[in-house]
C-alpha cells in the first residue's frame, strides 16, 4: 500500500470513529491488565460479563489475592482456560505487590515479566492505559494488515514492526483500536463484508472482494 493510500485509509477510519476505544470494560490500568489477560482465546463480551461481577468485589491486586484461586474461578469459570487464567492472575497480583507497590508498571519489560502477560497484552496496556503509540497484533490486526497490504508478515512481530513503520504517526495512537474494530465487524476472516467497507478503495484485496450477493 502506498503512503498516500495509508494516510487516506486511516483518515477515513478516523472520520467515522474519531475516538475509538477497547470494548473491554475497565476503570483502572489494573482492571485493564486483568481484563486483557482474561481475554486470551475468549471474546470481550464473555470477559465483560465476568468482570462486571468480579471487579465490584475485587479490583486491586490485594483484593484478588484475598479472593484466592477458587474465589477468582467462581467469577471467571464461563471464560475459556479459566483455570490457567486464575493461576496467572494470582501470580501476577503477587508480583505487582512485591515488585511494583501494587501498581501496573509503565514499561514493556516489567509487564512481560508478569505471569500470563505476553507482548500483545503488554502492548494493549501500554497503548490503552498509558497512551503509548504501540501496536498490539491480535488475529484481527494480523489478518487485516496482510489482507489490505498495510503491513505484510508471517508472524505477529513482523506485522507489528511493519505497522509501526507504515502507519502515519498522527494515527498511530488509535490505529490499534480502529483495526481491531474493523476486523471484528467488517473485514471478517471468512466472510469479509467488502461491500460496506469504507477503506476498500485503498485495500490490496479490493479486486478479490466478494459482492454482497455472493456472500
The pLDDT of residue 209: 63
Percentage of the chain exceeding pLDDT 70: 97
What is the Cα Rg of the chain in Å? Answer: 18
pLDDT band at 60 (very low <50, low <70, confident <90, very high): very high
Mean pLDDT of the chain: 93
Length of the chain: 215
Distance separating alpha carbons of residues 111 and 207, to the nearest angstrom: 41
Q: Is the pLDDT of residue 205 over 90?
A: no
Mean predicted confidence (pLDDT) in 100-114? 96
pLDDT band at 210 (very low <50, low <70, confident <90, very high): low
Positions marked catalytic:
120, 138
List the end-to-end C-alpha distance of the chain, in Å, as a whole number: 26
- Where do the H-state alpha helices sit in the chain? 3-16, 29-38, 44-54, 61-76, 82-100, 108-112, 119-124, 139-148, 156-166, 172-185
Superfamily name and number for 29-129: Hypothetical protein; domain 2 (1.10.340.30)
Q: Which of 75, 112, 70 is nearest to 95 (CA)?
A: 112
Distance separating alpha carbons of residues 129 and 35, to the nearest angstrom: 12
Give the cell for residue 91.
Answer: 501470580
pLDDT band at 211 (very low <50, low <70, confident <90, very high): low
pLDDT in tens, 62-76: 999 999 999 999 999
The pLDDT of residue 215: 46
User: pTM for this one?
Assistant: 0.89
pLDDT in tens, 24-58: 999 999 999 999 999 988 999 999 999 999 999 99
**Domain-wise residue ranges, the chain:** 3-20+135-207, 29-129
The pLDDT of residue 19: 94
Q: Which of 167, 162, 126, 123 is nearest to 142 (CA)?
A: 162
Torsion of CA 15, 143, 206, 190, to 10 degrees: -110
Which range has the worst mean pLDDT, 1-5, 96-100, 155-159?
1-5
Give the cell for residue 117.
Answer: 502477560
Q: Give the fold, CATH level 3, of 3-20+135-207.
A: Endonuclease Iii, domain 2 (1.10.1670)
> At 77, phi and psi to the nearest 5?
-70, -5
Give the cell for residue 73.
Answer: 474461578
Give the cell for residue 115.
Answer: 505471569
Q: Is the pLDDT of residue 135 over 90?
A: yes
pLDDT in tens, 13-23: 999 999 999 99
- Whether the CB-CB separation of 187 and 147 falls below 8 Å is answered with yes
Amino acid at each position: 500500500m502506498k503512503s498516500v493510500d495509508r494516510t487516506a485509509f486511516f483518515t477515513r477510519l478516523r472520520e467515522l470513529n474519531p475516538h475509538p476505544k477497547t470494548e473491554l470494560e475497565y476503570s483502572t490500568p489494573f482492571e485493564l491488565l486483568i481484563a486483557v489477560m482474561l481475554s486470551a482465546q475468549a471474546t470481550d463480551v464473555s470477559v465483560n460479563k465476568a468482570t462486571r461481577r468480579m471487579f465490584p468485589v475485587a479490583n486491586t491486586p490485594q483484593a484478588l489475592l484475598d479472593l484466592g484461586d477458587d474465589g477468582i474461578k467462581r467469577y471467571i469459570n464461563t471464560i475459556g482456560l479459566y483455570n490457567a487464567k486464575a493461576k496467572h492472575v494470582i501470580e501476577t497480583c503477587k508480583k505487582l505487590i512485591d515488585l511494583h507497590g501494587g501498581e501496573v508498571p509503565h514499561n514493556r519489560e516489567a509487564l512481560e515479566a508478569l505471569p500470563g502477560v505476553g507482548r500483545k497484552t503488554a502492548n494493549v496496556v501500554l497503548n490503552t492505559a498509558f497512551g503509548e503509540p504501540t501496536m498490539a497484533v491480535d488475529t484481527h490486526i494480523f489478518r487485516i494488515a496482510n489482507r489490505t497490504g498495510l503491513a505484510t508478515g508471517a508472524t505477529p512481530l513482523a506485522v507489528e514492526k511493519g505497522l509501526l513503520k507504515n502507519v502515519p504517526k498522527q494515527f498511530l495512537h488509535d490505529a490499534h483500536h480502529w483495526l481491531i474494530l474493523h476486523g471484528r465487524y467488517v473485514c471478517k476472516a471468512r466472510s469479509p463484508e467488502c461491500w460496506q467497507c469504507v477503506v476498500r478503495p485503498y485495500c490490496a484485496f479490493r479486486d478479490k472482494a466478494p459482492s454482497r450477493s455472493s456472500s
